[in-house]
Amino acid sequence: MAFVTRFAPSPTGPLHLGHAYSALLSHDMARAAEGRFLLRMEDTDLDRCKPEYDALIQDDLAWLGIAWDGPIHRQSQHIKDYNTRLEALERAGLLYPCGCSRSDIRAALSAPQEGVAFNVYPGTCRNRPMASRQPGDALRLDLDAALNALSTSDLSFTETGPAHAGQNRVDPAQARRQIGDVVLSRKGEDIVAYFLASAFDDADQGITHVIRGQDLFDFTPVQVILQHLLGLPTPTYHHHALIRDDQGKRLAKRDDARAMSKYRAEGATPQDIRSLVGL
């Protein structure tokens, strides 16, 4: 069976040890399967993505001994493809415009709702028609409408990662509670947000195996839902454990102490990095 995987960093900061683990693991798995390992820059956030991080990521990967197959896929060069898919979702009546700011959302959630995670959108704008879209509005996926448009019994994905290995079914109630109406196109510009761009690209790049951090497991259902809405295949998923800092916190881009460039400057070797992440 063909094995095609990808490493998909957002060039919004330097790679840290957690990214190195993800990249090395997916690269090693592709090579072991005699498959392909692709590099995708998730650079649709024009404010936060920087060419110098794009270059640094390539440099760090090469230093780690990671060679990617084919040209780099940059999402910023595929905006037209995403917008075509966005229009299809709009025609199907699955999107609505949303002008809520982060603080509006916080205020709407200030009375704690049981089981509603903080970042799940409370649905304030859900009944707004598309015709009311203002220039600064984001577009959200109406999750209930999407679930109604699909046969939910078909919504499943195979997971090979340690925490949820096996066949995973998308649970609509859990998706409402954990994910809700995600933003598919961001405010201000016709820029597609992560969920749609990534679901589309995995199909476009022929990805058979998505290997990424456990933090994205809970969001996989929305990508499976988007794949079904757009007639795209669902890859096999492998969510790996996260590399944590000494306090047990997951590493973030701002944790410069764990930046690959810092280890390199201190004279670490690629083998030291492999040992540090347990490979």
From candidates 26, 75, 198, 208, binder to ligand GLU by CB under 6 A: 198
Q: How far is the CB of 42 from ligand GLU (least distance, A)?
A: 4
Does 150 help bind ligand GLU (rule: CB under 6 A)? no
Q: How far is the CB of 53 from ligand GLU (least distance, A)?
A: 11
Six-digit token string for 119: 């970042």
Six-digit token string for 212: 């990424």
Stretch that binds ligand GLU, among 3-11, 62-70, 103-111, 238-246 (CB under 6 A): 3-11
Does 9 help bind ligand GLU (rule: CB under 6 A)? yes
Report the largest interatomic distance among the alpha carbons of the chain, rounded to a whole angstrom. Answer: 58
The C-alpha atoms of residue 34 and residue 227 are separated, in whole angstroms, by 26
Q: How far is the CB of 202 from ligand GLU (least distance, A)?
A: 8
Does 42 help bind ligand GLU (rule: CB under 6 A)? yes
Does 161 help bind ligand GLU (rule: CB under 6 A)? no
Does 201 help bind ligand GLU (rule: CB under 6 A)? no
- Write out the binding residues for ligand GLU, residues 43-72 only, by CB under 6 A: none
The C-alpha atoms of residue 212 and residue 163 are separated, in whole angstroms, by 13
Q: Which is nearer to ligand GLU, 10 or 227 (CB)?
A: 10
Stretch that binds ligand GLU, among 6-14, 131-139, 168-176, 262-270 (CB under 6 A): 6-14
Give the residue from 41, 17, 22, 5 showing the smallest Cα distance to 237.
5
Give the residue from 20, 94, 36, 88 showing the smallest Cα distance to 276.
20
SS3 95: strand
Q: Which is nearer to ligand GLU, 100 or 258 (CB)?
A: 258
Question: Which helix (H) or strand (E) segment is 220 a member of?
Answer: helix 220-230
Give the residue from 140, 12, 21, 139 showing the smallest Cα distance to 76.
12
Does 216 help bind ligand GLU (rule: CB under 6 A)? yes
Q: At what angle do helices 51-64 and 17-32 cross, to 10 degrees?
A: 50
Stretch that binds ligand GLU, among 4-12, 55-63, 117-125, 160-168 (CB under 6 A): 4-12
Does 8 help bind ligand GLU (rule: CB under 6 A)? yes
The C-alpha atoms of residue 115 and residue 80 are separated, in whole angstroms, by 37
Question: Which residues contact ligand GLU (rule: CB under 6 A)?
Answer: 8-10, 42, 198, 212, 216
